[in-house]
Amino acid sequence: MKPKLAILSLCLLVALPTAASAATRGFEVRDLAALDRVSAPALSPDGGTVVFAKRQVNAEVTKASTALYVRNLRTRDMAPPKRLTPEGWSVNSPAFSKDGKSVYFLSAKSGPQQLYSIPLAGGEPRRLTDFALDVDAYKLSLDGTQVALAFAVFPDCKGDLDCTKKKLDDAEAAKATGKVFDRMFIRHWDTWADGRLNRVFAAKLDGEGMIKAATLLSGDIDGDIPSKPFGDLSDFAWSADGRQVAMSVRQANREEPWGTNFDIWLVNADGSGARNLTAANKAWDAGPVFSADGKTLYYRAMARPGFEADRFALMAMDLASGQTKEIAPRWDASADGIALSADGSRIYTTAQELGRHPLFAVRLDNGEVEPVAGDGSISAFALAGDTLAFTRNSMKSGDQLFVARADGSMPRAITQSAGEMLPEVKFGDYEQFQFAGWNNDVVHGYVVKPWNYVAGRKYPVAFLIHGGPQGSFGDGWSYRWNPQTYAGQGYAVVMIDFHGSTGYGQKFTDAISQHWGDRPLEDLQKGWAAALKKYDFLDGDKACALGASYGGFMVNWIAGNWNQPWKCLVSHDGVFENHAMGYATEELWFSEWENGGTPYDNPDGYQKFNPANHVKDFRVPMLIIHGQQDFRIPVEQGIALFTALQRKGVESKFLYFPDENHWVLKPQNSILWHDTVNAWLKQHIGQ
């Protein structure tokens, strides 16, 4: 069953901001780096006030800080939100107190990151915790009397946080720097393992003094909560009465690097009685949420072990019997999270759909999926009574905060769009198109016009290939791969959501596994041909292909298998030697699933689509980009690719970042990245 939102009209040639008549230039990377970013909306219990985080950078675009802002929703005046936290503080993770009179947040203002509160009416923040370690995350109990606190600790220290601090200090003071490992992970994403696990503690919120001690909740579970490298406490839940907690954890054993078996554990709030609720499912279980009466646990579950891009189904477990059922089995979408409506009748969740990322409400009684907010991409949301707050972005704006009724009606903007912040900038209009791709399936793509588009002219093209590969280049905003930065340079942009992309049903997503180089390549070839036929402003003789991660792999594959249309290529953090990649990456489950086994059990699977086997056909100039701290696709992959091109005599450059991981995150490094890429494009296709 397709959700109702699927029948809504797609955004074709999206309208320009109202200030477009004043626009005199295109969007560029310095705009991207300097723009304010809003996130983390939180609603007061009565839904009358919204608090959110706003990140701003200094004038030199070298340092960012984040403050909390507040807006009274009971008034409809045009006054902008007011700053809540003081100048000079950088904070994150806002949450309201139970009575709505205070706002909690984390800050490292006093040294290690700690928990603070501040009156909603304004005033000085009050520090609530006093620990020698960073409080990495927190979650308040529903009655507001307890707080869960996440720390990275050494397991043999049990619940003694000072023990972990001493071990860290001793390691820092040691004269020798060598480390011995006896199992993986030895490193993950961009960090070398030091023996610590993320664990959750609980403390009371009923005293005047600072909290200096906490009870270990997850000590009987050998695993990270929050999970590494990107987990948070959305995988942790308090029961309504505060007597129990549920958490999703993957065992930190020798099998962790090649397994995706996260289980949900039920634990008493004093840390006792840990019980695995989902041991029967060897795949990923995540995001537990208790019903108001405590009888049902809602969560998300995958079905296939070892596959990180399987569909997340919405599940309900009767805690008395342990019986489970899927809530919306006919909904062919992967749910991102769970938030219960005020009356407990619906689950609110986001999911990718047809190149967008909407917000849905799923009825618990019959699994019917109802659209709530559908334009662009919803990145975060909060519910309180009949009030909904959400952040939404599109291909023309970063996240903008909106409030609406719980059904999505009567939305109003609380913060500005990118166009309102940059009235002198004209963004490129964009349109979604479709064509018959591999297996004659319908495949979707987007085309973006250059900012200075004039009918009848032709424009050089940036052909962007997304990563994942289970991902999407859809109607959303990116601070790394943003099509408007190319449109702002006078290029047209084409992006194809090839087989393997998310948001088009699980069968479509599954189609890429063990087929990295054939089915998606066919989609890209047919999509390129369809775009050239449909849009006469695309100059097919002046085009470059660019991609990162899987997109980088595809650029490397194109270099030896489809290099005819391209005047230049850009490969960022892409796999070049696939067999070596199978041994060098840290999350082995990914490489093993995508290649049909281990490199020693199925070597042919790693060689079938190995770009290194096609170097003899490399001829197109290529820019390679890689970060030293990228442990997902190690830097040696980029160096080997550059070596192959240089040795063969193909024009090539290598942009190396010693301090970046799989992504380029530092503002000045991002500017250098874009300046280098734009110069490469200009050299080979003009503008």
Residues designated as active site: 549, 630, 662
What are the structure tokens assigned to 610, written together? 């190995």
- Half-sphere exposure (CA, 13 Å, Cβ side) for 307? 19
Distance, CA of 345 to CA of 340 (rounded, Å): 7
**Around Cβ 24, how many Cβ atoms within 10 Å?**
8
Give the whole-angstrom CA distance, residue 204 versus residue 147.
6
Say which residue the tokens 């990322």 belong to: 357
* Neighbour tally for 214: CB within 10 Å: 20
Phi, psi of 531 (to 5 degrees): -65, -45
Give the separation between CA 429 and CA 447, rounded to whole angstroms: 9
Q: Using CA of residue 588, residue 593, residue 594, residue 596, what is the dihedral sign? A: positive
> Do 486 and 462 touch, CB atoms closer than 8 A?
yes
Q: Which residues pair with 52 in a beta bridge?
A: 69
Tokens of 270: 């004093």
* H, E, C per residue of 63-125: CEEEEEEEEECCCCCCCCCEECCCCCCCEEEEEECCCCCEEEEEECCCCCCEEEEEECCCCCC
H or E element, residue 362:
strand 359-363
Nearest CA among 89, 86, 209, 200 for reference residue 135: 200
Max intra-chain CA distance, the chain:
72
CA atoms of 5 and 28, how far apart (whole Å): 33
Q: How far is C-alpha 169 from the chain's CA centre? A: 33
Helices (H), 418-472: 418-421
Q: Quickly count: other Cβ atoms within 10 Å of residue 255's Cβ.
A: 14
For the sheet with 492-497, list strands across it.
430-436, 442-448, 492-497, 459-465, 538-548, 568-572, 622-627, 652-657
CB 106 within 8 A of CB 115: yes
Pairing between β-strand 459-465 and β-strand 538-548 as defined by DSSP bridges: parallel
Phi-psi bin for 74: left (phi > 0), alpha (psi -120 to 50), beta?
alpha
Spatial separation of the C-alpha atoms in residues 323 and 303, rounded to whole Å: 16
- Rounded distance between C-alpha atoms, residue 591 and residue 166, angstroms: 38
Cα distances (angstroms) measured from residue 135 to each of 54, 111, 540: 21, 11, 53
- Compute the distance between CA of residue 332 and CA of residue 311 in angstroms, rounded to an integer: 8
